[in-house]
Structure 1
Amino acid sequence: MINRKHVVRIAGCAAAVSAALGLLSIGAANADTFVPLPGGELTKTLSDGTVITVRLTDESANISPSMGATPVHRNAWVSGTASVQVSDNSSAPSVLLFPGYTVACQVNIAGGGVNGGVGGTVDYSDGQNVKPNVSANTGGNLSLGPGQATSFWVLDVEKADDYGREAHRHRNKIDGHSGSVTWADETIGLSGCGGYAQARAFISVELETDSVVTWTTLWGQPFSLG
């Protein structure tokens, strides 16, 4: 004789286990992905003999499912440290440090040229001297379609201008021959991209000595946003 109550209990337990496994699978699929990145280092000797070294260290990205929960939404938190060192043969150099990120939708930003329809333009033809044309200000809440790329600054330093009005600077001024700046959990929120998306850190340095003015850029390794 079949005990129907016993069968119902077994069926109920099986359904509960299946539901739990289903929730576990969903949770695993939506878990954050931590990506350690190698950073980089660039050394350049200027025409007056000044040596400048730019470093990107402690770089990482934490890729997370976007609140939009659709294939066209991506979300990441990025961290890193930018540092610069100038040789002592240059007396009282002027050094400005500009960290930022380039983000692209269905565009290869590992090399070649990138032209962003949103306004970000990057030309890698002269790798060390490339100067990103940053159309966004600060913060990485971006909207890009296929074939588009843009860049944004990490820093937003408030400082009064010459007339006492509030002004925003996107660089860190280095006092002396060396210095650094660190950022943690800077947001990259991307919407509108239905294909693969990438991002890449860059550290640009503007250096002025008694006889030379130069712009140098170090590029980090590209990483996938999904």
Structure 2
Amino acid sequence: MMRSVAGFGRLPAGIGLGLAVLMFGCGVAQADTVVPLPDGKQDFTTATGVQIELSRTGESAVVSPSLAYNGLSRTASMSGTVYATVAGATGGTLVSGYLIGCQADLSGGVTVGGDVYVAPGSVSPELAPSINLVPGGVAQVKFDTKQIDPRAGAVGFEYHDRGVQVDGCAGYAQARAFTTLTVTDQRGSAEVTLYGDPFSIG
């Protein structure tokens, strides 16, 4: 069983991994831009009887100018808290991060071209991993993957100022949070994805 939020589907393949997230357009920003984002929540009971409450709260982003001031590179750092209760689950995983696209509208369906894992220490422009995006490219940036402890009946984590640097994209760029929760019990498995609001990174 698979569920998703806000009709976030998939489009035809062909969006490659050579991604370089465009963040500013033609010019170079001269100061950080703080982007507050709304909370999100998804509640339902799976066909196998697992009761799920999945939420993202306190989400925000800070978009910064390129250190090289070349108009093709930006740095964004994101913060938030992801939490899920999974009454009745015997196992599963919680994966959370961001979709980042160059000249791609993330409010609809996309085909993700590749994965990038951002380590917890990547909290500054100097440490943030670089993602190269071509126009039309979308990268899935994973911040963390947590295993569900059946005894706890819940799973979650916080991230603060987790940085991502986007290079090579000279146009419009967007980012959008995603959190995918997979749960299992004796009768089977189910998956739900909670998406955040898209926001501009230049």
TM-score range relative to shorter protein:
0.7 to 0.9
Q: Is 1:174 matched up with 2:148?
A: yes
- List runs of 5+ in structure 1 lacking aligned partners: 1-28, 121-134, 156-170
Query: RMSD of the alignment, in Å?
Result: 1.6
Residues 146 and 155 in structure 2, CA contact (< 8 A), matched pair in contact too: no
Q: Is 1:145 matched up with 2:129?
A: no
Tell me the amino acid that sits aligned with residue 103 of structure 1: I
CA shift, 1:84, in A, is 0.5
Q: Is 1:200 matched up with 2:196?
A: no
CA shift, 1:86, in A, is 1.7
TM-score normalised per structure 1: 0.68
Deviations 1:17-46 (CA, angstroms, capped at 9, x unpaired): xxxxxxxxxxxx612111111131111221
1:114 to 110, 114, 129: 110
Structure 1 CA distance for aligned equivalents of residues 102 and 201 of structure 2: 9
CA shift, 1:218, in A, is 0.5
Residues 94 and 208 in structure 1, CA contact (< 8 A), matched pair in contact too: yes
Structure 1 CA distance for aligned equivalents of residues 154 and 182 of structure 2: 13
- List runs of 5+ in structure 2 lacking aligned partners: 1-28, 120-128
Aligned residues: 163
CA shift, 1:50, in A, is 2.0
Instruction: Note the 1:7-18 alignment, pairs <5 A.
Output: none
* Number of the residue aligned with 1:57: 57
CA shift, 1:138, in A, is 2.9
What SS class does the counterpart of residue 131 from structure 2 fall into?
strand
* Number of the residue aligned with 1:184: 160
TM-score normalised per structure 2: 0.75
Tell me the amino acid that sits aligned with residue 104 of structure 1: G
Segments of 4+ in structure 1 off by > 6 A? none
